[in-house]
Structure 1
């Protein structure tokens, strides 16, 4: 293909039932920072991301029929510290575990969205 008109992934929509509860989980438990928090006709345009990340997560409450996402892969240097934070925050998780491809941890946010975290 000659020219690739798409050069990046900017935002991944994560369906949530309650934006305030989601904001608390993603900032307090996961340590993400708020990138945007603006009024939007259907709620708030609320995005979060790890410090330094270029792709953001849009915490969207206006898709009541959208199924939870699954399989989004994140990276973290210390899965044991992440597991401790998830436990303290009351999040459901599995691991860390050693797999053939590396060390990983699985968790769900309060809305059933599933994530894989690979050790970086």
Structure 2
């Protein structure tokens, strides 16, 4: 039996700002952008394929993620130092530079919505 992750939903305050970050700074491609109630259903895919991020509008009464804490979504890079340099050049803000960990290397970046994510290399 083969089971893979196909999508991860990221709840955002401003869908267009999220699209601009993930496409302009991270190099993802919009694969789906269609009406979804009063908002949009937007999927973006990493440059090399894989699981898509769904950029879904958060409802005003939903709790916000804990600020300053990374989401447990780990993006993987073949060369974290080179990837870090490229992303910084594109305007991505890192809150933790690449560091050696017992399992490999890790860094933490944040999107323009304030969400934080891990970038790793084994």
TM-score (norm 1): 0.81
Contact 1:43 1:62 in 2 (8 A): no
- Pick one of 13, 22, 27 that aligns with 2:23: 27
Name the structure 2 match of 1:81: 82
Structure 1 vs Structure 2 CA RMSD: 2.2
Deviation at 1:58, TM superposition (A): 0.5
Structure 1 residue runs of 4 or more that deviate by more than 4 Å after TM superposition: none
- Pick one of 109, 112, 115 that aligns with 1:113: 115
Deviation at 1:85, TM superposition (A): 3.7
Distance of aligned partners of 1:98 and 1:33 in 2 relative to their CA distance in 1, 3 Å threshold: same
**Greater share of strand residues, 1 or 2?**
2
Question: Which range moves more in the overlay, 90-99 or 11-20?
Answer: 90-99
**Structure 1: any 5+ residue segments left out of the alignment?**
none
Aligned with 1:70: secondary structure?
strand
State how 1:1-120 maps to structure 2 within 5 Å.
Answer: 7-64=3-60, 65-68=62-65, 70-88=71-89, 89-119=91-121
**Equivalent residues, number:** 116
**Structure 2: any 5+ residue segments left out of the alignment?**
none
